[in-house]
Structure 1
Amino acid sequence: MSNTIHFLPVLLSISRNPVTAVGLPLALGTLSGSATAKVVRGRWYQNLLVPPGRPPRQVFPIVWSLLYLSMGYASHLAVKALDAADSPTSRSALLKGILLYYAQLGLNLLWSPLFFKAKKTGLALIDSVLLTASAYCMTDLLHGPTGSKTTPFLLPYCAWLTFATYLNGGIWWLNHGRPVRRED
């Protein structure tokens, strides 16, 4: 935890500025998902059995871009609320929520390399479950101290993560005994 405290001023300054608050998750998400386009056109992904309800692949970059912008703006609102908070309880919840924001962002950025690059659908599922749980917890922590200002920006993210976890879980379940093609 003491290492986290050293990074806290940097993390707060990133989210304090609305441009860097929305730009950081968007840039890192784009970087993390950059190898995805090639893989989804490849044989491994095309041969996966998938659960019902998977949207067309073109939907994912649009949805994720909007969600990265939205979660980034929520982090900005949380830091603004922290700057104005006078209650120790509110400050504590906001600090925990902001730290969870960065933790879940790390889990988010780890998912694409696990799923698409390493083709480890089971490890990606574990990551997705942890990511989804941390996003819901973060949303709950930030709700009260921000006067619910962050909630409309984070609830769509939580809903999408729930759906993405369903897709990941379905893909893992339907394919976990099948041989993995690694040539693409």
Structure 2
Amino acid sequence: MDSISLPPILLDIPRNAVVAIGLPLVFGSLSGYPTKDVVRGPWYMSLRRPRVEPPRAAFGIVWPILYASMGWASHLAIRAYDQSLSPSSRMDAYAGLKLYWIQLGLNLAWTPLFFMAKQKGLALLDILPLTGVVYWMTYTLHHATNGATTLFLAPYCAWLTFASYLNFEFWYLNRGRPELKEF
């Protein structure tokens, strides 16, 4: 990953706080918008449920907060990159920004995999590395930002851990069952 350079636009986007926060909010909302119909539909309603599951309304509250938090963390990361005199802090900030864009891509892929394609197993294969990348990003940016990003990314780590459990349970409890076809 060290030899891969970020295109300049991926460094410029988080420099503007409004764009840094708005981009994941907009793309996350666009990714999640179609799910409101799916979660009320026969396919989702027919799935065997995990033992612990938050109310549906929680997702519409939690995800915008997490998207805004990750966007703000990217803004703090680029500020650290631009302002740090320490080569190791600059390297960590740059590496953290690479991880930021990787996790955002994995994050935005999960909803279409799970809800639109109805591929619980593929979604699980997405969310597990997503969770790992977010923990790695949080750790990497902690040093570069003197812990400032950790305050915004720790809730995301916790939620993804819980979401990974939910995805695993949906996959495990429903494996081998014929998929309900929607018309």
TM range (shorter): over 0.9
* TM-superposed deviation, 1:3: 10
Q: Distance in 2 between matches of 1:6 and 1:28?
A: 20
* TM-superposed deviation, 1:90: 1.2
Change (3 A) 1:28 1:4: farther
**Which residue in 1 is equivalent to 2:118?**
119
Q: Deviations over 1:17-60 (max 9, x none)?
A: 10000000000000111110010000000011111111111110
**Which residue in 1 is equivalent to 2:5?**
5
Q: Deviations over 1:69-128 (max 9, x none)?
A: 011000000000001112221111111100100100000000000000000000000100
SS in 2 for 1:59: helix
Question: Amino acid of the residue matched to residue 32 of structure 1?
Answer: S
SS in 2 for 1:144: helix
Q: Distance in 2 between matches of 1:94 and 1:42?
A: 43
SS in 2 for 1:5: coil
Segments of structure 1 that go 5 or more residues without pairing to the other structure are none
8 Å contact 2:25–2:68 — kept in the other structure?
A: yes
**Which residue in 2 is equivalent to 1:166?**
165
* TM-superposed deviation, 1:182: 2.7
Runs of 4+ in 1 over 4 A off after TM superposition: 1-4
Which TM-score applies when normalising by structure 1? 0.96
Q: Distance in 1 between matches of 2:63 and 2:126?
A: 17
8 Å contact 2:20–2:74 — kept in the other structure?
A: yes
Count of aligned pairs between the two proteins: 183
Change (3 A) 1:166 1:2: closer
Q: Does residue 102 of structure 1 match 2:101?
A: yes
Question: Amino acid of the residue matched to residue 43 of structure 1?
Answer: P
Q: Distance in 2 between matches of 1:129 and 1:18?
A: 29
* TM-superposed deviation, 1:158: 0.3
Q: Distance in 1 between matches of 2:147 and 2:92?
A: 13
Q: Distance in 2 between matches of 1:104 and 1:17?
A: 20
Higher mean C-alpha displacement, 37-46 vs 53-62: 53-62
Change (3 A) 1:150 1:6: closer
Which TM-score applies when normalising by structure 2? 0.96
Change (3 A) 1:135 1:173: same
**Which residue in 1 is equivalent to 2:175?**
176
Change (3 A) 1:77 1:49: same
Q: For 1:1-184, what aligned pairs fall within 5 Å after superposition? A: 5=5, 7=7, 9-183=8-182
